Amino acid sequence: MLEVKNISFSYKTIPVIKDVSFTIQNGQNIAVIGESGCGKSTLLKLLYGLYDLNQGEIFYDGKQILGPKFNIIPGEEYIKYLAQDFDLMPYISVEENVGAFLSNIFKDKKAFRVQELLDMVEMTEFAKTKVNYLSGGQQQRVALARVLALEPEVLLLDEPFSQIDAFRKNGLRRNLFHYLKNKKITCIVATHDRKDVLAFADETIVIQNGTLIEKAETIKVYENLKNKYTASLFDEVNEIPLYLLDNSVNQETLVLVYPHQLHEVEESNFKVKIISCYFKGDGYLIQSEFEKRMVYFNSKIKLLTGTFVFLGLKE
């Protein structure tokens, strides 16, 4: 179990992480989400032991994780951290990078391990290629293979798919998280991409201005909309007066609604003007206006700008 107890940290005088506490069970995949600059990357670095805490403690299976004041070489052997800069050696080959920290005593075993990891990240054909000749996305895939080479107990990933092409990203995500589950490796991913979260994260941690504002099962974080900040990390979100969606309610209470939860109806109190249509592949995201308030909803067909439609809440 990873235990984070009331930790705080600041680079200078302004706090970056503020009194954060949580626990993570072994083998879980956890997503850390939040807007840019909220403290996601700093939190991963603290978990790895790259910085000294201002206050609080971090433990893994009862052993305290300490920073550079206590370790000549920061970081713990059983934890691997993949930063956004990859930290690869550019003038040696892909396979040499992946196998850099594997023992040379059993060369066949090392070669098999390197091949296994290159297969997983779909980089086998580039095994002999020097890293400096690779694209950013290819380097990111090599870096993923490298941090897994010694099979850590805890894996910390900071935006691990940010430079990988969309057509390859989906398969790589499935391969990686399937591998981690099979090996029971605890994984914590800091990400902006909701696709990294919804399908693969057992739980999601939401960070805002260095403060943990929510930690729960991912499906509950997504469906139980507690605040606009969290909802907006997953999708466009509407703030709609409740009486527009429920005729029995006469108050101005605002509710949070995703675009896919709204649909066109024959008649309602909720009449909106179409402003723009954005093609999504399986339909359109419609931007509309109600009493100077922007409202977003999904539609199977393109709607004519300037026309009016009635909206209701899907059951």
Domains in the chain, CATH or no CATH each = 2-226 (3.40.50.300), 235-313 (2.40.50)
Backbone angles phi, psi at 273, to 5 degrees: -100, 130
d(CA 204, CA 215): 6
Amino acid at 169: K
∠ CA 191-178-167, nearest 5°, is 60
Mean pLDDT computed over 265-276: 93
- At 199, list the tokens: 């399908």
Q: Which residues contact 23 (CB under 8 A, 6 or more apart)?
A: 1, 2, 3, 4
Whether residue 294 has pLDDT greater than 70 = yes
**36 burial type by CB count under 10 A (0-12 exposed, 13-18 middle, 19+ buried):** exposed
- pLDDT number for residue 13: 85
Whether residue 74 has pLDDT greater than 80 = no
Mean pLDDT computed over 219-229: 92
Which has more confidence, 251 or 214?
Answer: 214
Whether residue 122 has pLDDT greater than 80 = yes
- pLDDT number for residue 72: 76
Whether residue 267 has pLDDT greater than 80 = yes
Whether residue 218 has pLDDT greater than 80 = yes
**244 burial type by CB count under 10 A (0-12 exposed, 13-18 middle, 19+ buried):** buried
d(CA 298, CA 137): 32
- pLDDT number for residue 14: 87
pLDDT digits (tens, 9 = 90+) for 27-67: 999 999 999 999 999 999 999 999 999 999 999 999 999 98
Sign of CA dihedral 140, 143, 147, 148: positive
Question: Residue length, the chain?
Answer: 315
- pLDDT number for residue 75: 76
- At 98, list the tokens: 């992946």
Whether residue 313 has pLDDT greater than 80 = yes
CA distances from 88 to 85, 130, 303 (A): 8, 11, 49
Instruction: Return the number of other C-beta atoms located less than 10 Å from residue 271's C-beta.
Output: 14
Global pTM reads 0.90
- At 205, list the tokens: 């941690």
- pLDDT number for residue 46: 95
CA distances from 155 to 25, 63, 214, 263 (A): 13, 17, 22, 41
Average pLDDT, the chain: 91
- At 201, list the tokens: 């994260």
- pLDDT number for residue 216: 96
Mean pLDDT computed over 224-245: 91
pLDDT band at 250 (very low <50, low <70, confident <90, very high): low
Whether residue 170 has pLDDT greater than 90 = no
Instruction: Name the CA radius of gyration of the chain, rounded.
Output: 23
Q: Specify whether the CB–CB gap between 123 and 138 falls below 8 A.
A: yes
- pLDDT number for residue 252: 73
Instruction: Return the number of other C-beta atoms located less than 10 Å from residue 226's C-beta.
Output: 14
Whether residue 248 has pLDDT greater than 80 = no
Mean pLDDT computed over 89-98: 91
